[in-house]
Chains A and B, each alone.
Chain A
Amino acid sequence: MFSCEDVLAELSDYLDNELAEALRKQVEEHMVHCRTCRAVYDSTRKTLRIVTESGSFELSEDVSSRIAASIREKIRAKHANPGDIPRS
């Protein structure tokens, strides 16, 4: 019988759908009866959804363009010097 610690140890793999069938069943059987593990599982699942969809640390359009332009300028300056052309 899986304990709360056992479920917690497998939680990440369970969320990623990477648990073997037998382990997955054990986790699910435990959660049927354990409100705490159910709450932790559900809130962790929602945490991942929120993080993935949050657009956190998005580079603003103007910063992105400014840096891209600077990179562009620098590699063209290097390219003007034939010794600096990258070759495989």
Chain B
Amino acid sequence: MSYIRGALADESQFPTLLDIKSEFGFIPNFYRAQTLRPDLIDAEAGLVSAILVKEGALTRRQKEYIFLVCSADNLSTYCVTAHCEIVRMLGIEGPEPEQIALDHTVSDLPDSEKALLDLAVKLNNRPREVISADIDELRAHGFADEHILEMVIMVGLAKFANFVAFGLGTVPDFDASNVMRQLGLAPSSTRSEKKLNPLKDTTTPINDEDVDLVSRTRSGDLDAFDELVRRHQPRIYRTLVAIVRNPEEAEDGLQNVFLSAFQHIGSFQGNSKFLTWLTRIAINEATGRRRTRKEMESFGETSVDDVPFRPRDVTAWGANPEDLYSRAQLRQKVEQALLTLPAKYRVVVMLRDLEQFTAEETAQVLEITIPALKSRLLRGRLMLREALAPTMGKRAANV
């Protein structure tokens, strides 16, 4: 578990380790590697408690993020893995911690927090270049000197932890393969942008039923592409409707999507399913059309409504409310209800519940994180339920 042997005594003889276990549910290998000197473990745990855990000017989230960006910059797989888990265990809301570690600049953090992390990284990397103007910039973002002091000390704490972990050869407490891939420490697919891919298993082979047709198209077999069109037209059409909201316009866009896919099929690298790639093209096509129409309502924005959606019509529904209507009537009611949803909720509900994409695939095509997807899906589903309630509830059955 580390380069040097720890003490042979069991953990119950180290009260500090028991405290740590009761707080985090596990004893980090970082401390296990130091059991030859329990007094130093006590001192370090006290330091962590005073700097990171104890309430101060910065929030715990800000302090954890500072720790993450510095640890990632120092390529400390151990510290990044441990603190990604700790962020999750604490239920800290915000972007995926791996995204912060990998590249906080492309996350949806507020600009002030990005500025805080930028300076933390600069201090971590190029300490001699830090000047008073950097501190003034943080002040301009609204940080008081107490915040800045804590940031500087957090950077120091991260360096300390990173270097101790390196020196002792501490093995990560959790599966580190994902973090190592993201930090470029393990074989990975080529990545031009340091953006965390919401699809977790980028290295596992993708089971794609289209792979043969794609490869035949690339070798010039046009009938193979006809088959891809036939296979995916209905779903691509629905993706377009979900965004442009207008069936006629979606029909117009359909042809462009497939022609563009044909044109660029050489650049499809098989990192995702062909349908996922095709859906991205459809989303771009539809977004372009919305832009042309100058629709300002964004479906891609990452903000989440703060106030939870509360169901209003809570009348119970019968066992099979769909039996109240013919198939054609039902379809029309569902379509009308879907079109009443704001775009960003309509798109996730249609991709996930109508087109049956998995949560991971939906997040990937919309380029949002899984937590952002889930938040929108919940709201979208509840809004859709509300829109259908007047025609599906028991009151409707009695009319």
Contact = CB atoms under 8 A, between A and B. Distances in A.
B50 interface: no
A25 interface: no
Contact of A56 (B254, B331, B359, B377): B331
B378 A56 contact: no
Given A13-B374, A57-B335, A75 B311 contact: no
Nearest to A76: B222
Contacts of A78: 262-263
A71 B237 contact: no
B78 interface: no
A50 B259 contact: no
B386 to A, nearest CB: 9
B217 interface: yes
B145 interface: no
A35 B315 CA distance: 10
A44 B230 CA distance: 33
B28 to A, nearest CB: 23
Interface in A24-56: 36, 39-40, 42-44, 46-56
Interface string B259-292: 1001111110000000000000000000000000
B255 interface: yes
Q: How large is the interface on A (under 10, 10 to 19, 20 to 34, 35 or more residues)?
A: 35 or more
Interface in B337-361: 338, 349-350, 353-354, 356, 359
A39 B314 contact: yes
B196 interface: no
Contact of B330 (A15, A42, A50, A88): A50
A49 to B, nearest CB: 8
Given A59-B234, A59-B237, A76-B222, A50 B311 contact: no
Contacts of B184: none
B109 to A, nearest CB: 23
B384 interface: yes
B316 A42 contact: yes
B393 interface: yes
B123 interface: no
A5 interface: yes
A63 B251 contact: yes
Nearest to A88: B266
Given A13-B374, A88-B266, A64 B233 contact: yes
A20 interface: no
Contact of B354 (A11, A12, A57, A59): A57
Contacts of A5: 308
Interface string B359-383: 1000000000000001001100110
A35 B335 CA distance: 29
Nearest to B267: A88
Given A55-B331, A68-B233, A86 B263 contact: yes
Contact of B385 (A43, A59, A87): A43
A52 B218 CA distance: 34
A74 B356 CA distance: 31
Contact of B321 (A8, A50, A63, A64): A50
Nearest to B319: A46
A57 B353 contact: no
A57 B255 contact: no
Contacts of A52: 353-354, 356
B199 interface: no
A12 B218 contact: no
A44 B315 contact: no
Interface of A: 5, 8-9, 11-13, 15-16, 18, 36, 39-40, 42-44, 46-59, 63-64, 67-68, 70-72, 74-76, 78-79, 84-88
11 contacts: A8-B310, A39-B315, A40-B311, A44-B381, A46-B392, A51-B349, A54-B330, A56-B338, A74-B255, A75-B225, A86-B217
Interface of B: 217-218, 220, 222, 225-226, 229-230, 233-234, 237-238, 241, 247, 250-251, 254-255, 258-259, 262-267, 308, 310-311, 314-317, 321-322, 327, 330-331, 334-335, 338, 349-350, 353-354, 356, 359, 374, 377-378, 381-382, 384-385, 388-389, 392-393
Given A11-B378, A39-B316, A88-B265, 8 more contacts: A11-B382, A12-B374, A13-B374, A50-B322, A52-B356, A57-B338, A59-B233, A88-B266
